[in-house]
Amino acid sequence: MEGAAVLGRLNWLEAEVVEIRPETSQTKTIGFEVPGWPGHRAGQHVDVRLTAEDGYQAERTYSIASAVDDSRIELTVERLDDGEVSPYLTDELRPGDTIELRGPVGGYFVWDPHAQGTVFLVGGGSGVVPLMAMARQRAAEGSKIPTRLLYSARTWDDVIYRDELTRLAAGDAGLDLVYTLTRAQPPGWEGYGRRVDLELLAEVAPAPAVLAVAFVCGPTPFVEAVASGLVQLGHVPARVKTERFGPTGG
């Protein structure tokens, strides 16, 4: 499948819940079987639509967390206490339930299996989700593209996919993990303990000459700070791809 799907040409598809697993205290990964799913590229997202008994509908957009599969996708959803959609997805859904999905959407922020150079993934909080799809796709392909993930989270317990990331990196010398915990660090912590700033980026970002592409995802202020910092360090703006999210009611 090439490029992005056009929303006007997409249909809503019925998606059946086949698996639910917790990632952190506030996030869950939900696996769906989606008959008629056209396939996706790592980094794309979907629209989710919920319809109440009285006909009221609510829609939200979520990044796809899984690598490419024929008919199954996974979404990792962070529960927002005042949200309209995320509490239902994380608290109410059970295996066998169905919701509506539309996608995949997006062709700019996607994994390129032919990238020449080092790929730099930078995620803030749940912004790691599409980056995890890329890491999983990279592993599924047996790719040798040098890849570094810089992941900023509040605490170690807030790190989504923590165990899986550790396993992926342990079995692949080409995947490098760098963490920074902005609120609290566990005893003996050897990673960073501050927000991602210009100094931190200067220490961990690949040199501009070897960077194939940077993918930055997270809250808008985080994304803007990282993208601006990378450009200040000499990276070509066209090689810094961003995807951001803000308060949408969840």
Measured CA to CA in angstroms, residue 48 lies from 60, 109, 124, 160, 184 at distances of 5, 19, 22, 21, 33
Quote the pLDDT of residue 248: 44
Confidence class for position 1, pLDDT limits 50, 70, 90? very low
**Is the link from the previous residue into 38 a cis peptide, with omega within 30 of 0?**
no
Instruction: Give the chain's domains with CATH numbers.
Output: 7-105 (2.40.30.10), 118-245 (3.40.50.80)
- Helices 128-141 + 162-170 axis angle, to 10: 30
Quote the pLDDT of residue 250: 65
Quote the pLDDT of residue 247: 52
pLDDT digits (tens, 9 = 90+) for 190-228: 999 999 999 999 999 999 999 999 999 999 999 999 999
Q: Are strands 211-219 and 240-245 parallel, antiparallel or unpaired?
A: parallel
* Lowest model confidence (mean pLDDT) among 12-26, 134-148, 163-177, 236-250: 236-250
Of 149, 19, 205, 164, nearest to 96 (Cα)? 19
Task: Please report, rounded to a whole number, the percentage of residues in the chain having pLDDT higher than 70.
Answer: 94
pLDDT at 4 over 50: no
pLDDT digits (tens, 9 = 90+) for 75-126: 999 999 888 999 999 999 999 999 999 999 999 999 999 999 999 999 999 9
Of 76, 86, 72, 181, nearest to 131 (Cα)? 76
pTM higher than 0.85 for the full model?
yes
Burial of 82 (0-12, 13-18, 19+ CB in 10 A): exposed
Are 33 and 16 in contact, with CB atoms under 8 Å apart? yes
* Lowest model confidence (mean pLDDT) among 8-12, 38-42, 56-60, 77-81: 8-12
Measured CA to CA in angstroms, residue 237 lies from 71, 202, 231 at distances of 35, 16, 6
Give dist(CA 140, CA 70) in Å, integer.
Answer: 14
Measured CA to CA in angstroms, residue 49 lies from 15, 44, 71, 72, 155 at distances of 11, 17, 19, 17, 31
Amino acid at 99: I
H/E segment holding residue 177: strand 175-181
Q: Which residues contact 239 (CB under 8 A, 6 or more apart)?
A: 211, 212, 213, 214
Query: Which DSSP state fits 115?
Result: -
In this prediction, residues 152-177 reach a mean pLDDT of: 97
The dihedral region occupied by 125, where left means phi > 0, alpha psi between -120 and 50, and beta the remainder, is left
In this prediction, residues 129-148 reach a mean pLDDT of: 97
pLDDT at 246 over 70: no
Are 215 and 43 in contact, with CB atoms under 8 Å apart? yes
In this prediction, residues 4-32 reach a mean pLDDT of: 87
Confidence class for position 70, pLDDT limits 50, 70, 90? confident
